[in-house]
């Protein structure tokens, strides 16, 4: 059974990807400039200007990279560097296969700040062959946020 937050997060990621793709398609077109005052537009060559812009991350690059590095032990389900969403697949520790975890990271700003990061952790336990949602300690999300922020600061300091 899929929870509402995961469903909405996947839908948001899909919508953001569609919108971003449409924006890229618009930005990569070629614009033909024609002098409207000339007698014959067909007789004169057309000047073309190609709009070339390289997309940049829509979020803080240090937070993005630190999030990926911190959660690198978990397989990724989807990631959107322009919307700032990272969703992992379920991960079960081989030493405790009856528990599994899933993480969603939201990077909310382009600034390297603590309030620009939100981490949600989900836990399920296996009983009788069925996975059931389980409560998770609130400190778990906060500890992962702190680990990401610490790594982001390290990356920032290393580049300056």
Name, in order, each residue with C-beta under 8 angstroms of 114's C-beta and a sequence gap of 6 or more: 145, 149
pLDDT band at 92 (very low <50, low <70, confident <90, very high): very high
How far out from the chain centre does Cα 34 lie? 41
Residues of the chain with pLDDT > 90, as a percent, come to 61
> Dihedral (C-alpha) 57, 61, 67, 68: value to the nearest 10 degrees?
70
pLDDT band at 1 (very low <50, low <70, confident <90, very high): very low
For the ranges 26-35, 57-66, 133-142, 150-159, which has the lowest average pLDDT?
Answer: 26-35
Q: 95-112: per-residue pLDDT in tens?
A: 999 999 999 999 999 999
Asked whether residue 147 carries a pLDDT value surpassing 60, the answer given is yes
Query: From residue 1, how far is each of 7, 72, 93, 132 by CA, in Å?
Result: 10, 25, 21, 9
For the chain, list the domains and their CATH numbers: 4-50 (no CATH), 61-159 (3.30.530)
Question: Is pLDDT larger for residue 114 or for residue 33?
Answer: 114
Determine the pLDDT at residue 55: 54
Judge contact between 148 and 103, C-beta under 8 A: no
Mean predicted confidence (pLDDT) in 114-139: 94
Give the dihedral sign, CA 79/85/86/90.
negative
The radius of gyration computed from the CA coordinates of the chain, to the nearest angstrom, equals 23
Cα distance between residue 47 and residue 88, in whole Å:
48
Mean predicted confidence (pLDDT) in 48-59: 58
Closest CA to 103 of 79, 119, 125: 119
């Amino acid at each position: 059974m899929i929870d509402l937050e995961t469903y909405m997060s996947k839908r948001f990621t899909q919508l953001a990807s569609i919108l971003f793709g449409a924006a890229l398609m618009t930005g990569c077109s070629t614009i033909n400039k024609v002098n409207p005052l000339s007698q014959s537009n067909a007789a004169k060559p057309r000047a073309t200007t190609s709009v070339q812009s390289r997309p940049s991350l829509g979020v803080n690059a240090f937070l993005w990279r630190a999030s990926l590095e911190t959660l690198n032990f978990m397989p990724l389900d989807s990631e959107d560097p322009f919307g700032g969403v990272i969703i992992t697949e379920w991960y079960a520790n081989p030493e405790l296969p009856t528990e599994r975890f899933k993480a969603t990271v939201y990077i909310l700003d382009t600034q390297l700040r603590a309030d620009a990061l939100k981490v949600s952790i989900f836990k399920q336990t296996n009983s009788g062959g069925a996975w059931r949602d389980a409560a998770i300690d609130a400190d778990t999300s906060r500890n992962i946020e702190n680990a990401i922020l610490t790594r982001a600061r390290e990356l920032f300091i290393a580049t300056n």
